[in-house]
């Protein structure tokens, strides 16, 4: 029995607490709606600053006040504050529970994205709006415009990529030309330097140790002196035999005389024959 009484007591307590929370929630919702109503009135009077304050009061009363969040986003659109408007409208799209509220939020998100030239993202926003309300012709029309804009942007991006690629290729060609020209200039400079070094070396070869030009005639005189030191053979006069010819002739005569003497000696050894004269 004790457990039963406790349970009954706890149930009664919980029920009382839930009732209190419900009443507080309804009161907060009522106050939030009043703030939204005041904000809408101020928007119609183009008092955007005051309207923004009323919508913020509505959100402070109940954080899931879709009307307050949505209308605050719309007030930013009218002020031209598109980044803040986009943030609040996306928040409203997530918070809202009805398709009609989601449709309106996504439709306005698409409008803000088109204002920011984000056509591809706007296409997706309008598609989400049509998913929640397929019969809205205004959303469908805006979707068509967003698609055309997205295609044009894509073509422009592709063209920019091609132009950038062409510029990069041109820069590479120009860099190669500059490199080739530099290498050619360096080669010419090196050739000139080598030629200058060669001429300088040849010039240095023609100088003595003191840096004075060498005397070629002096060198030629040296060669003449060396030739004079060598014994020269007398040149034969016309009609006369040269010393070598005389030497050869004497050697031949000596050889001939030697042969005659040898013959005479041989005959002496055999005996001398006397030749008789014939009588006439």
Q: Is residue 237 part of a domain?
A: no
Per-residue pLDDT at 9: 38
CATH of the domain at 84: 1.25.40.10
Rounded CA-CA distance 214/273 in Å is: 84
Tell me how many domains the chain contains: 1
Please report whether residue 203 resides in a domain: no
CB 55 within 8 A of CB 79: no
- What predicted TM-score, i.e. pTM, was given to this entire model? 0.53
Which domain does 155 fall in, by range? 14-159
The label of the residue with tokens 């005959």 reads 267
Question: Is 259 domain-assigned?
Answer: no
Average pLDDT in the chain: 77
The 10s digit of each residue's pLDDT in 188-210 is 878 777 777 776 666 566 556 66
**Is residue 135 a part of any domain in this protein?**
yes
Mean pLDDT for the stretch of residues 4-29: 60
Q: Is residue 124 included in any domain, yes or no?
A: yes
- In tens, the pLDDT along 68-114 reads 899 999 989 988 899 999 999 999 999 988 999 999 999 999 999 99
In a domain, 136, yes or no: yes
- Which of 119, 158, 123 shows the shortest CA–CA distance to 140? 123
Q: For residue 27, is it within any domain?
A: yes
In a domain, 36, yes or no: yes
């Amino acid at each position: 029995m004790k457990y039963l009484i406790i349970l009954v007591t706890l149930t009664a307590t919980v029920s009382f607490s839930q009732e209190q929370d419900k009443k507080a929630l309804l009161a907060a919702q009522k106050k939030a709606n009043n703030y939204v109503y005041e904000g809408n009135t101020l928007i119609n009077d183009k008092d955007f600053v005051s309207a923004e304050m009323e919508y913020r009061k509505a959100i402070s009363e109940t954080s899931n006040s879709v009307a307050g969040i949505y209308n605050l986003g719309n007030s930013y659109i009218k002020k031209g504050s598109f980044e803040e408007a986009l943030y609040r409208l996306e928040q409203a799209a997530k918070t809202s529970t009805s398709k009609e509220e989601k449709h309106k939020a996504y439709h306005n998100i698409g409008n803000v994205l088109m204002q920011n030239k984000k056509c591809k993202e706007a296409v997706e926003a309008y598609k989400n709006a049509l998913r929640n309300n397929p019969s809205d012709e205004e959303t469908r029309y805006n979707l068509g415009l967003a698609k055309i804009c997205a295609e044009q942007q894509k073509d422009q991006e592709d063209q920019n990529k091609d132009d950038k690629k062409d510029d990069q290729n041109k820069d590479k060609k120009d860099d190669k030309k500059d490199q080739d020209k530099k290498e050619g200039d360096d080669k010419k400079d090196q050739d000139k330097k080598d030629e200058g070094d060669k001429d300088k070396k040849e010039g240095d070869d023609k100088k003595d140790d003191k840096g004075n030009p060498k005397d070629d005639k002096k060198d030629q005189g040296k060669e003449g002196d060396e030739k004079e030191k060598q014994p020269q053979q007398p040149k034969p006069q016309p009609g006369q035999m040269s010393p070598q010819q005389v030497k050869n002739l004497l050697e031949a005569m000596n050889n001939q005389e030697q042969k005659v003497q040898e013959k005479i000696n041989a005959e002496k050894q055999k005996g001398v024959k006397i030749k008789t004269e014939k009588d006439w």
